[in-house]
Structure 1
């Protein structure tokens, strides 16, 4: 009986210790997003403007050392921007020249990062550095503010959601500061840069027959949040 009680006490202590290593909170992230576009010289794809986006959601820091944590969560993230390209086919409308598209997307994002914390730089305040990546799944897309897009060269209408791939991945780097408000409450603020790794184009190569079109996401985020 004594051994059982000791085992239960040890298990309780382990669970308590493990739970103390996990910090859960909420974050909001207004951001400036853009699209990096490139192609052969025939279509001359390029970025033609950024947009203000917004995101936020659940953040989780699992500490495996006093100053080291695995950072993850589940976030709703806005991305997109404006691209331009040269239309050479003319198509049924006889259109030629420069064409622009404004593409807006919402993703479910799962960060996979490491967060490194300094010792206190002021009473109850620490700096942090964050590096890693994220896996992203699109849940909504608009082209020129619409859920459907009619190509001005071919007059064919397609779903905006069919214009991008079903996944994206980012590499990210960030820095910020965290302040202890109470025994378990902390607030934090910082900046992060997200650079898309995957070509998200699923329209120009497959539907329009353009060659070597590459479109990737980029964003600079302001990260503000609270952990409980």
Structure 2
């Protein structure tokens, strides 16, 4: 009995080792990003323009079945966009918002994806479809307001602030994606797809803390094309 149990455990361990496979690669992701803005109607925060960004980084797929993989890595990602809002006129004695202002916000994040990839069987020779579901956790490493590292606010006594102080550091996003993967050789694969990253966290810190605006929400959104090579 002991010999039978030992044989079964050895066989199970061998099968687990055989089925586990790690694929590592690099990806490049041009994207369109924008900010989902929300506020009370008097402030009228709106998304005005999207932003073209370029990101990429390391991709790691750990297969725990023939067609199932835990996918992670380390990505450098550009985000942001242009927003508009109603603000007070510094030339007026009234504190009511009467002017429309715009801010172009540029953000750069380091992100770690935490997701699952589901692969189909071959739909053509050495070609599979994949579907990705999960999220990303990241932190901002660079910020620009209107292209500058510092921002001067004309409606706040021309007070100057560091652009990095306008947003909180952490960010979380939901991630869904799909694409095609093609095997070039024994261990080399290329892939291409599209992914949507929906920000889950209010990243604003400036309007709430420095301007005293209530209930202002800014969240990242990104639609990316993903092109990569796995070794």
- TM-score, length of structure 2 as denominator length: 0.89
* SS of equivalent residue, structure 1 residue 205: helix
Q: Give the deviation of 1:152 after TM superposition.
A: 1.6
Q: Give the deviation of 1:191 after TM superposition.
A: 0.0
Say if 2:46 is the partner of 1:46.
yes
Q: Give the deviation of 1:91 after TM superposition.
A: 3.5
Q: 2:159 aligns with which of 144, 156, 160?
A: 156
- Cα distance change, pair 194–26 in 1 and its aligned pair in 2 (3 A): same
Deviations 1:31-65 (A, max 9, x none): 00000001001111010000100000000000010
Aligned position for 1:134? 136
- TM-score, length of structure 1 as denominator length: 0.90
Say if 2:210 is the partner of 1:207.
yes
Say if 2:121 is the partner of 1:119.
yes
Report the count of equivalent residues.
217
* SS of equivalent residue, structure 1 residue 211: coil
Q: Unpaired segments of 5 or more residues in structure 1? A: 1-9
Q: Distance in 1 between matches of 2:154 and 2:48?
A: 18
* SS of equivalent residue, structure 2 residue 195: strand
Q: Distance in 2 between matches of 1:127 and 1:41?
A: 44
Aligned position for 2:222? 219
Aligned position for 1:170? 173
Q: Give the deviation of 1:159 after TM superposition.
A: 0.4
Q: Distance in 2 between matches of 1:61 and 1:140?
A: 28
Aligned position for 1:82? 82
Aligned position for 1:6? none
Structure 1 stretches (4+) deviating beyond 3 angstroms? 13-18, 91-96
Aligned-residue Cα RMSD (Å) equals 2.0
Contact 1:168–1:197 under 8 Å retained in 2:
yes
* SS of equivalent residue, structure 1 residue 204: helix
